[in-house]
Amino acid sequence: MKEKVLFIAPSQFSIGELHNAIYLSRQLESNGRTCHFLTSQNHLDYALNSGVKATPLRKKTMQTVAVKEVVQSFDPDAIIIADYHNLDLESPLIDLDFVLSLGLPTATIDSLCFGTESKVLKNRLFEENLLKRTRSTSKAEAFLRKIPETMKVIRTCPINDPSVKNERIQPVTLYKRPFNMELIKKEEVRQRFGCHSKTDKLIMVSKAAWANLFVKMRLMETKLYMDRKYSYEHFIQQLIECYLGVREVPSKVVIVGIAPENSLIQHASESKIKFVGMSFLNIKEYEDLLFSCDLFITDNVTSCSMAKALFGYVPVLSLVNTKVNTGDGGNLLFPEIWESQEGRDAILQKWTKVLPKGIYPFLTFPNGWVDELQPLLANNPFMEAIEISEIFNIRETGEKIYNLLYCEKTKKIVNEKQEKYINLIINTPDANDMMEFILDKKMKERLSK
């Protein structure tokens, strides 16, 4: 009889870890295994709509009863935590020591390469709070425990480097093949979001799950937190307008995914630029939209959606800041070779008004994590398959976006890089190989009896 696997995805905010676990479960179930999910109440509907069986975790820390009940009723052969870092980055919904005490083979997904050593993760957005010891100090840093030696470590690809493996670490591909969407279906989706001509362009802009929540927490310190013009969503929209203004776009450009409808910048009906709201979508609906886009942009280099878009041959662009910082006097420090840009300067003036010292280097906003992500990203072929640009270099980023949308030579080069990376990842061990890896110790014990 095939094994049963319990996935525990405890995050209340980030959905990418649950998404990845669902894709692993689909591979397992296609091979006759049975899977069940224990996830936060916030993401229960998402899990159920994806087709998996799931039980909710209450909003209570260090739970043991919910885990015990599911283990007793489902009787799994193995448990997989998705992902390990969420146990310490958020208030832990489950008690890891209790899970390990159950005596079942237990592995964890370590998608960001954080878990093999204990470390302190700092959130740069709250750095001032840490110095001042304000109420938000607890958000400024988190101590991540080292993954217990008894747990196998799973590194999901994409984004991890598939060559990094040993007797304890196993890379595993989320996708067995690239995504190919039917042209008719793609056109239906594009028309639904306002792209009625074949020359129209559809861009999805995605923010890290933490961005809105953490920025709103910082804005609570000012009297402007209720003003949408000072929201992070508004700043991002203004930056997108600046990028698209570097060169005149020859067609309509629809931007989706930034904010709810009531937070969008409104343009005149004759404008070529249009922001469109996006309600919460289930996995299939989101995939249809994602693979119908001409470009995917994010402020999070570890974005699960960016990696997935790549597998659907959608050009992707990660916006980072490694060049602009806040000086001791609160003034912004730019590279001398960058040209001044009136729109950018106006945005940053408002940004720093509500988020003092809120401009700092980041690879994933708002955390920063420039140094922390180096074990994941250094010499990683994923970085060769994506486009990266400085978020505050309007000229460079605007040119790059224009070329990704309209330059056939650029799109051909991007497609070739994606093809190379996809071929690398689909030849990485799959979820069924992962299960053999996790159960290895258990199998050896059975054979020795």
Give, in order, the Cα–Cα distances in Å from 48 to each of 55, 89, 128, 158, 308: 9, 25, 40, 24, 21
> Are residue 161 and residue 16 in the same domain, yes or no?
yes
Owning domain of residue 100: 4-175+430-448
Quickly list DSSP for 73-120: HH--SEEEES-TTHHHHS--SB-HHHHHHT-S-EEEE-TTS-TTS-EE
Name the residue among 14, 18, 13, 23 with its Cα closest to residue 38.
Answer: 18
Considering Cα of 270, then 274, then 279, then 284, what sign does the dihedral take?
positive
- Cα-based torsion angle of the residue sequence 54, 57, 62, 67 in order, rounded to the nearest 10 degrees: -40
Considering Cα of 247, then 253, then 258, then 262, what sign does the dihedral take?
positive
- Cα-based torsion angle of the residue sequence 101, 3, 87, 281 in order, rounded to the nearest 10 degrees: -150
> Are residue 119 and residue 244 in the same domain, yes or no?
no
Q: pLDDT value at position 137? A: 46
* Cα–Cα distance for residue pair 421/418, rounded to 1 Å: 5
CATH number at residue 318: 3.40.50.2000
> Are residue 210 and residue 108 in the same domain, yes or no?
no
> Are residue 31 and residue 100 in the same domain, yes or no?
yes
> Are residue 396 and residue 415 in the same domain, yes or no?
yes
Give the predicted TM-score (pTM) of the model. 0.93
> Are residue 347 and residue 390 in the same domain, yes or no?
yes
Q: pLDDT value at position 220? A: 65
What phi-psi label fits residue 184: left (phi over 0), alpha (psi between -120 and 50 degrees) or beta? alpha
> Are residue 422 and residue 438 in the same domain, yes or no?
no
Number of domains in the chain: 2
> Are residue 201 and residue 277 in the same domain, yes or no?
yes
> Are residue 421 and residue 435 in the same domain, yes or no?
no
Contacts (Cβ under 8 Å, ≥6 apart) of 327: 333
Contact 17, 86 (CB under 8 A): yes
- 364: Cα separation from own chain's centroid: 9
Element (H, E) at 402: helix 394-406
> Are residue 210 and residue 92 in the same domain, yes or no?
no
* Cα–Cα distance for residue pair 167/152, rounded to 1 Å: 9
CATH number at residue 111: 3.40.50.11380
Q: Which residue has the tokens 């109440």?
A: 41
> Are residue 285 and residue 373 in the same domain, yes or no?
yes
Q: Which residue has the tokens 């401009």?
A: 359
Q: Please report, in tens digits, the pLDDT of each residue of the chain (449 residues total).
A: 689 999 999 998 889 999 999 999 999 999 999 999 999 999 999 999 999 999 999 888 788 999 999 999 999 999 999 999 999 988 788 899 999 999 999 999 999 999 999 999 888 888 765 555 554 445 678 899 999 999 999 999 999 999 999 999 999 999 999 999 999 999 999 999 999 999 999 999 998 766 666 776 666 666 665 667 778 888 899 999 999 999 999 999 999 987 665 567 777 667 899 999 888 889 999 999 999 999 999 999 999 999 999 999 999 999 999 999 998 888 899 998 998 888 999 999 988 888 888 899 999 998 899 999 999 999 999 999 999 999 999 999 999 999 999 999 999 999 999 999 999 999 999 999 999 999 985 444 543 44
Q: pLDDT value at position 329? A: 82
Query: Is the bond preceding residue 162 a cis peptide, omega within 30 degrees?
Result: no
> Are residue 68 and residue 169 in the same domain, yes or no?
yes
